[in-house]
Amino acid sequence: MTASSNASSALSTAQSPTAAAPPMVRIRAARKRFGSLEVLKGVDLDVDAGQTVVVLGPSGSGKSTLLRCVNHLESLDGGSIRVDGELIGFRTRGDRVLALHKREIARQRREIGMVFQQFNLFPHLTVLQNVIEAPVGVRGEPKAEARERAQALLERVGLADKADSYPRRLSGGQQQRVAIARALAMRPKLMLFDEPTSSLDPELVGEVLTTMKDLARDGLTMIVVTHEIGFARQVADRVVFMDGGLVVESGTPEEVIGNPRNPRTRAFLSRVA
């Protein structure tokens, strides 16, 4: 991301006065390219605190790249992303846009939990040790306090009896629920889910989706990239359809899934429904 007029304009838009309750996530004119391939072409998206927003779209539409930019695993080439009012990955000095130091980026990431397609658990650590690793090692929480909260989180995701097990002894669905507990252990203000059920056998998908539904009912702010249309219909406050690096349709599940206006949305849903 450079201090181009395009980026500066997007930042100015993101800083303009808003209503009394600003969104938890505000994305403005987000652009990202890999070499000659432009993956995000100017994405605008707001997510209010406590909302569950489900992002649908075909492979290559930019969904996962957008999520990775929200916690700065990928750096924007233009536009801006703010979480709870804070510009992610960058700071402004006058009309210049400057990259944050790695320490500041790490601090921002502590507030944003992310669950990936792969579970990425430490195989040499027990379930409980996996969950307390970041709170103790990154946040510096006392181990006893972290263990107590980890036990509560494992109970929340239905795995209290697996605290002393190693990941290799768990099913894929159980491992993904441990990954969710691990992300929640950092007390994030925002959770990102990047196709969390795509690598699971069909019979294991339901247990992960049930955990995510419980989180939505508890009011956790979530952005979920998924092809699970039933989950989107039941749980989402808003559904966003992306195609070709752009948001082409957004609305309630009833609007986007039940009565899509855009031909690309209709074609996608006819294939996956």
Q: Per-residue confidence at 9, pLDDT binned at 50, 70, 90? A: very low
The Cα 179–Cα 104 span in angstroms is: 24
* The pLDDT value given to residue 207: 95
Residue found by looking up tokens 């031909």 in the block: 263
What distance in Å separates the CA atoms of residue 249 and residue 258, rounded to the nearest whole number?
13
What is the reported pLDDT for 21?
A: 80
Q: What is the mean pLDDT of the chain?
A: 93
Q: Is the pLDDT of residue 82 over 60?
A: yes
Q: What's the one-letter identity of residue 166?
A: Y
Neighbours of 119 (CB within 10 A): 22
How much is the average pLDDT of 74-100?
A: 95
Neighbours of 78 (CB within 10 A): 23
Q: By the 8 A CB rule, do 164 and 126 touch?
A: yes
Residues facing 56 on adjacent strands: 241
- For the full predicted model, state whether its pTM sits above 0.85: yes
Q: Is the pLDDT of residue 17 over 70?
A: no
Average pLDDT, stretch 229-257?
97
pLDDT (average), residues 108-127:
96
Q: How many percent of the chain have pLDDT more than 90?
A: 89
- Residue 1's pLDDT is 54
The set of residues, in sequence order, having a beta carbon less than 8 Å from that of 252 and lying 6+ positions away, is: 237, 238, 239
Q: How far apart are CA 102 and CA 134, in angstroms?
A: 17
Cα–Cα distance measured from residue 253 to residue 234, given in angstroms and rounded to the nearest whole number:
8
* pLDDT-based confidence at residue 6 (cuts at 50, 70, 90): very low
Assess contact for 219 and 225: CB atoms under 8 A.
no
Give 164-205 pLDDT, tens digit per residue.
Answer: 999 999 999 999 999 999 999 999 999 999 999 999 999 899
In the chain, where do the E strands start and end?
25-34, 37-47, 52-56, 78-83, 86-87, 90-93, 96-99, 112-115, 190-194, 222-225, 238-243, 246-251
Q: Are 232 and 257 in contact (CB under 8 A)?
A: yes
* Tokens encoding 12: 């100015």
User: Does 159 have pLDDT greater than 60?
Assistant: yes
Structure tokens at 218: 């508890």
> For 217-243, what is the mean pLDDT?
97
Q: Is pLDDT of 37 > 80? A: yes
Structure confidence at residue 272 (pLDDT): 87
